[in-house]
Amino acid sequence: RKTGPGFVLILIIHPLLHRSRSAVELQGNAYNGLLIAINPQVPEDEKIIPNIKEMITEASFYLFNATKRRVYFSNITILIPATWKTNNYGKPKQESYEKADVIVAAPYWKHGNDPYTLQYGECGEKGTYIHFTPKFLLKDRLIDIYGSRGRVFVHEWAHLRWGVFDEYDSERPFYISGQNQVKATRCSSDLTGIYVCEEKICAQGNCVINHVTGLFKEGCKFIHDKSQNASSSIMYMPSLSSVVEFCDASNHNTEAPNLQNKMCSYKSTWDTIMSSADFKSNFPMIGTSLPPPPIFSLLQSQDRVICLVLDVSSSMNEVVKNRDAETSGSTIVLLTAGEDSSISNCFSEVKNSGSVIHIIALGSSAAKELEQLANMTGGLNFFATDRLDSNSLIDVFSGILSRSGDTSNQSVQIESAGESTGAYKHFNKTVTIDSTIGKNTFFVVTWQKNRLPDITLLDPSGKRYTNEDFEIDSGLHRAHLQIPEIAEAGDWTYVVTNTHNSSQVLTVAVTSRAVNSSIPLITVKAHTNKVVNFYPSPMIVYAQVSHGFGPILGANVTAIIEPEDGDPIILKLLDNGAGADVVKDDGVYSKYLFSFSGNGRYSLKLHVQQDNKTIRPHPPMPWSPAMYIPGYVENGKIQMNAPRPSVNEDDSQVRLGSFSRTVSGESFIVSSVPSGPYSDMFPPCKVIDFGARTEDNKIILSWTAPGDDFDQGQGRF
């Protein structure tokens, strides 16, 4: 084996961003375990916590009524960052910023306060988190613009929990109805208001039809009556006081060109919600009494004890029992290659231990129950193959992160490469240190045979590092170099020469940290949409590439998926809004995964690379944010809100130069793959970007063609 404890302990400090599943459970009619976390960079403000409590309390009653007495919020946890004053708050156990359902953090773009839900799954799939800015929670003038915070919360909760979509569409605010009339994209269509155009753009403020599109010209807006009779929909405009329900089959507007219709095949939001798992066996509360108000627990993040457990051949019981009350809330990283038939004996103890257990299953014989240990403690699951040419253990350790939301001292992996190198041959490559990183930069080289390879490393200005500069551990076959102070941004080239007279595997891994805590890091998160998959159902692999909260577009993203036995599957992930990729240009790259070579555990690794270029997202926020209400008509008078702050070029993206990242995602399990050859099982996927426009009396249709198998290969039409 090429690893030893010493090797592992050095690497344990390498974290990586990883979002794990929500811990919210529906028990009876009550949602328990909702986690709201405040980012460590948010300055302390004594009003934030009371305003969160007020928001959730209002939301709970509104939600209860909107779901016809089916669900409300009960136990809520608010996670306060370590950067805030201590105040006898509780100590977190399995809660961490990275797992939060709701985050409070700096805005997505500089002057924006739009609440939004990070949602890039299919219809009915859960979102990742809801993002509120501190200003949204503190500035009461924003209530006129977005509606009351509790109502906004229920709107976002429906995105997050039930995978429904908005019923407005800022890109397509109008449509031509079946009666050949121009209408505002909305639900229900009973909502009343007037069409108004800014005086600057249209004469006398009247909306004018554009003869090419048949729709109103730019500058025209639909201004709602403040007082309405229509009671839906919450996915449209919960800020209207009459709106207390979701659109259902009786009033759903199937003509509106919005995401809900596009993604959910014209099904109403209420019908989509009712078909979610929450309502399979849930019954409305009987009687007329209101549910109890939510209960809040306040916890404050603190440093976590990390304990590494290598290969427990005896029993998991020992590991958990030895943890006393002091270490509850610690993190255990369990690295195991063996079988342990008694794992399930300690499940209840594990569950009560208050520890988070991350699992690294090594090789193909690791016990089958391991995944459950991580599942019940909110830990992560990884699988490392024992193939010699992969750095899988190094990569996996980079996948275990401090998860506090503080990226200023977080290590990121830039390179992970390995190659079987012939006698006296060399292995060389160039890695890019980008402008966001450079502190604590490590180069780590490993080899197999009892002979130190020749290592040469050149920095961007030509300075040369050789074996003399590296710290060498010949017993572990490993050498490492920490670049003093800040590693220079640019291309670094390494050449590792095999000095042995037979061929061997040489590997190189490079990690670094943020250069300055005020510069956001370029980060990559890797995950699949399922933890267990049954053939022939397909999976989706996702990579989220971002700079702070901003998406990075146009990167080359390659997924390497390794089974227990057999060759890795290589996929190029795309951000093109077609096939598995729901939203174009949101920095989330996706691809279907369906051609499995066998059953068992699979590991996931991503390589992300980008040249020196800048592509700005358009619109600046790719996920549909809460509606910015232009104004209302009240007693026949138009009352306009302050206009939406405009997005300035510099706000949406800075020039980053070229960069690269290597990231491991959680492992997953595939079963029911037949052993023999199989016939063409896979249909082309659904077209989700179909469009039509008129030009010179012709209708031009456009769409991205799916593949023969989902989004891969060439379909025939």
Active site residues: 156
E-assigned strand segments in 587-641: 588-593, 600-610, 631-634, 637-640
Half-sphere exposure of 260 (CA within 13 A, CB side): 32
575 binds, among Ca ion, ligand NAG, none (CB under 5 to 8 A by kind): Ca ion
Q: With contacts defined by CB under 5 A, name the span among 226-234, 301-309, 569-577, 705-713 that binds Ca ion.
A: 569-577
* C-alpha distances in Å from residue 647, one per residue of 111, 185, 622, 693: 8, 24, 13, 28
461 binding ligand NAG? (CB under 6 A): no
Query: Would you state the structure tokens that stand for residue 601, as one six-digit string?
Result: 């555990």
611 binds, among ligand NAG, Ca ion, none (CB under 5 to 8 A by kind): ligand NAG
586 binding Ca ion? (CB under 5 A): yes
244 binding ligand NAG? (CB under 6 A): yes
612 binds, among Ca ion, ligand NAG, none (CB under 5 to 8 A by kind): ligand NAG
Per-residue binding string, ligand NAG, 387-426, x by CB under 6 A, is ----------------------x-----------------
Determine which residue in the list 259, 320, 588, 608 makes contact with Ca ion, applying CB under 5 A: 588
228 binding ligand NAG? (CB under 6 A): yes
556 binding ligand NAG? (CB under 6 A): yes
Pair type for strands 411-421 and 478-483: unpaired
Provide Rg for the chain, Cα atoms. Answer: 27
518 binding ligand NAG? (CB under 6 A): yes
Question: Residue holding tokens 């370029």?
Answer: 522
CA–CA–CA angle 338, 344, 346 (5° rounding): 100
Query: How far, in Å, CA of 283 to CA of 67, rounded?
Result: 10
- What's the N-to-C CA distance of the chain in angstroms? 52
- Within residues 20-39, the interface with ligand NAG by CB under 6 A covers 21, 27, 32
415 binds, among ligand NAG, Ca ion, none (CB under 5 to 8 A by kind): none
540 binding Ca ion? (CB under 5 A): no
Smallest gap, in angstroms, from Cβ of residue 103 to ligand NAG? 21
Residues with Cβ within 8 Å of residue 334, at least 6 apart in sequence? 309, 312, 316, 319, 357, 358, 359, 360, 370, 373
Determine which residue in the list 291, 293, 354, 657 makes contact with ligand NAG, applying CB under 6 A: 657
493 binding ligand NAG? (CB under 6 A): yes
Residues with Cβ within 8 Å of residue 45, at least 6 apart in sequence? 134, 138
179 binding ligand NAG? (CB under 6 A): no
Determine which residue in the list 13, 105, 256, 259 makes contact with ligand NAG, applying CB under 6 A: 13
Using CB under 6 A, count the residues that bind ligand NAG: 31
Q: Return the closest-CA partner of residue 2 out of 500, 475, 442.
A: 475
711 binding Ca ion? (CB under 5 A): no
Query: How far, in Å, CA of 587 to CA of 608, rounded?
Result: 12
Helix or strand (DSSP H, E) at 352:
helix 347-352
322: buried, middle or exposed (CB in 10 Å: 19+, 13-18, 0-12)?
exposed
575 binding Ca ion? (CB under 5 A): yes
* C-alpha distances in Å from residue 501, one per residue of 383, 417, 421, 425, 449: 33, 22, 11, 10, 10
Smallest gap, in angstroms, from Cβ of residue 501 to ligand NAG? 4
581 binds, among Ca ion, ligand NAG, none (CB under 5 to 8 A by kind): Ca ion
- Within residues 526-545, the interface with ligand NAG by CB under 6 A covers 531
Contact 187, 627 (CB under 8 A): no
3 state SS of 461: coil
* C-alpha distances in Å from residue 424, one per residue of 226, 499, 503: 79, 5, 8
Helix or strand (DSSP H, E) at 155:
helix 149-162
Query: How far, in Å, CA of 146 to CA of 136, rounded?
Result: 9
Contact 589, 571 (CB under 8 A): no
Q: With contacts defined by CB under 5 A, name the span among 66-74, 476-484, 534-542, 575-583 that binds Ca ion.
A: 575-583
Contact 393, 360 (CB under 8 A): yes
229 binding ligand NAG? (CB under 6 A): yes
Determine which residue in the list 612, 639, 648, 694 makes contact with ligand NAG, applying CB under 6 A: 612
- Closer to Ca ion by CB, 118 or 332: give it: 118
Amino acid at 220: C
Smallest gap, in angstroms, from Cβ of residue 62 to ligand NAG? 7
Smallest gap, in angstroms, from Cβ of residue 676 to ligand NAG? 29
Smallest gap, in angstroms, from Cβ of residue 630 to Ca ion? 28
Per-residue binding string, ligand NAG, 471-490, x by CB under 6 A, is -------------------x
- Closer to ligand NAG by CB, 205 or 657: give it: 657
- Closer to ligand NAG by CB, 557 or 688: give it: 557
- Closer to ligand NAG by CB, 296 or 682: give it: 296
516 binding ligand NAG? (CB under 6 A): yes
Question: Residue holding tokens 């209420």?
Answer: 270
Give residue 288's Cα distance to chain centre.
39
Contacts with Ca ion by CB under 5 A lie at 575, 581, 583, 586, 588
Contacts with ligand NAG by CB under 6 A lie at 13, 21, 27, 32, 65, 75, 192, 225, 228-229, 244-245, 295, 375, 409, 428-430, 490, 493, 501-502, 516, 518, 531, 556, 609-612, 657
